[in-house]
C-alpha cells in the first residue's frame, strides 16, 4: 500500500525555519524593499544633518579660514568664546536674550495654541475655515512676517498702539525700548502657534467621548474636566510641543533679523540680539 507524505503547512515550515536559525527567502525580499524605501530619508539625514553636525563639531576644535588646512587648537576656541570679551563682546548678551526669549515665547505659544484648540474643538461649523485662518501665520514667509510686525509695532502709526489707545493705554515704543523688545518678539511667536494648535486639536479629538460623558454624569464642572481629564490626556502632546518649541525658540533668527533690518547691534542696547543672530552677524558683518 502506497503511503502519501503531506508537506507541512507554510506556517509550520516558517516555525521550523525560525527554530533552525534560517530565514525565509521572502523575508530578505521584504527587508530589501524596506531598506530601499528608507534609503532616501536616511541619505538625506546622513548627508545634510549628521555629517554637517559632526564636521562642525570637529572644526570647532580647529583654526580654519577656508584657505589653509585646519589646525588643531583643542578647546582654545571655546575658551575665547566664553572669556574673551574683547573679541566676542556680545556673546553673553546673546545668550541672555535667547534664554529670556525662550522663557517668554514657549509658554505663551503653548497657552495660545491650547486656547485656540479648545475653541476649535467646540465649534461645529466652519472649523476648516477657522483652522486655515489660524494656521496662515505659520506658512507665511518670515520676511513678510517681520515687515508686517515692524509696522504693527511702529510707535507713530502702528496698529498695536492704536488699539491700546482705544482702551486708554498709552502707546509704547516697542522696538526701541530695551525692556519691551524681547516681549514684543515673544508675542510674534505666540501669533505663529498654528502647528502647536493643530497638535493640541488632534489630542483633543483623540480623547474618548465616553470619558467626558462619565465626568459630566459624576457632576464634574467644565474647569474640573479640563484640569483632571483634558490636561492629563494631553500630556504626551504637551511634552512633544515643549521640546519642539524650545528648540525653535533657541533657533529664532529670520523674524528678528528682518524686524531690526539686519542691524549689527540687534536693536537698542543689543536687546534683540539672539544667539543665532549674533552668530550670523559675527560671521558676515562684524570686523573680527
Q: Per-residue pLDDT tens for 8-64?
A: 555 555 555 555 555 566 678 888 888 999 999 999 999 999 999 999 999 999 998
Measured distance CA(78)–CA(76) in Å, rounded: 5
Instruction: State residue 61's pLDDT score.
Output: 95
The closest of 223, 163, 231 to 174, measured between CA atoms, is 163
DSSP, collapsed to helix, strand or coil, labels residue 46 as helix
Tell me the percentage of the chain whose pLDDT exceeds 90: 50
SS3 content of the chain, % helix, strand, coil (to 5): 70, 0, 30
Q: List Cβ<8 Å contacts ≥24 apart for 123-132.
A: 131/198, 131/201
* Grid cell listed for 188: 510674534
CA count, 13 A, side-chain hemisphere, 7? 5
Average pLDDT of the segment spanning 117-140: 88
The values of phi and psi at residue 23, to 5°, are -130, 150
**Does residue 245 register a pLDDT over 50?**
yes
Distance between CA atoms of 91 and 130, rounded to whole angstroms? 42
- Report angle CA 226, 230, 234 to the nearest 5 degrees: 140
Per-residue pLDDT at 288 exceeds 50: no
* pLDDT score recorded for residue 270: 86
The structural domains of the chain, ordered by start, are: 25-83 (no CATH), 91-284 (1.10.3720.10)
Sign (positive or negative) of CA dihedral 62, 63, 67, 69:
negative
Q: Does the pLDDT at position 3 exceed 80?
A: no
d(CA 198, CA 249): 19
Average pLDDT over residues 202-222: 87
pLDDT score at 11: 52
State how far the Cα of 142 lies from the Cα of 112, in Å rounded to an integer. 20
Q: What is the pLDDT of residues 144-154, one digit of tens each?
A: 999 999 999 98
Question: With 90 as the cut, is the pLDDT of residue 73 above it?
Answer: yes
Comparing CA positions, the residue from 229, 251, 248 lying closest to residue 240 is 248
Distance CA 200, CA 236 (A): 10
Report angle CA 100, 178, 186 to the nearest 5 degrees.
Answer: 40
Amino acid at each position: 500500500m502506497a503511503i502519501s507524505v503531506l508537506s507541512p503547512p507554510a506556517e509550520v515550515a516558517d516555525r521550523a525555519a525560525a527554530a533552525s536559525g534560517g530565514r525565509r527567502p521572502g523575508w530578505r525580499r521584504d527587508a530589501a524593499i524596506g531598506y530601499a524605501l528608507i534609503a532616501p530619508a536616511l541619505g538625506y539625514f546622513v548627508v545634510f544633518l549628521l555629517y554637517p553636525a559632526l564636521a562642525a563639531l570637529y572644526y570647532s576644535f580647529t583654526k580654519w579660514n577656508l584657505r589653509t588646512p585646519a589646525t588643531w587648537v583643542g578647546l582654545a576656541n571655546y575658551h575665547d568664546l566664553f572669556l574673551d570679551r574683547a573679541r566676542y563682546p556680545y556673546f553673553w548678551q546673546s545668550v541672555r536674550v535667547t534664554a529670556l526669549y525662550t522663557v517668554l515665547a514657549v509658554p505663551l505659544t503653548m497657552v495660545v495654541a491650547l486656547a485656540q484648540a479648545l475653541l476649535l474643538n467646540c465649534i461645529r461649523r466652519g472649523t476648516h475655515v477657522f483652522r486655515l485662518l489660524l494656521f496662515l501665520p505659520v506658512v507665511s514667509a518670515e520676511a513678510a512676517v517681520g515687515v508686517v510686525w515692524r509696522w504693527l509695532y511702529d510707535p507713530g502709526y502702528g496698529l498695536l498702539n492704536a488699539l491700546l489707545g482705544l482702551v486708554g493705554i498709552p502707546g509704547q515704543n516697542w522696538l526701541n525700548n530695551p525692556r519691551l523688545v524681547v516681549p514684543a518678539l515673544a508675542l510674534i511667536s505666540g501669533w505663529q502657534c498654528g502647528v502647536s494648535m493643530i497638535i493640541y486639536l488632534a489630542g483633543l479629538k483623540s480623547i474618548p467621548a465616553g470619558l467626558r460623558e462619565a465626568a459630566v454624569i459624576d457632576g464634574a464642572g467644565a474647569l474640573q474636566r479640563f484640569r483632571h481629564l483634558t490636561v492629563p490626556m494631553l500630556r504626551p502632546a504637551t511634552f512633544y510641543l515643549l521640546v519642539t518649541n524650545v528648540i525653535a525658540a533657541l533657533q529664532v533668527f529670520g523674524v528678528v533679523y528682518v524686524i531690526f533690518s539686519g542691524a549689527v547691534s540687534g536693536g537698542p542696547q543689543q536687546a534683540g540680539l539672539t544667539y543665532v543672530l549674533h552668530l550670523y552677524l559675527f560671521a558676515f558683518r562684524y570686523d573680527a
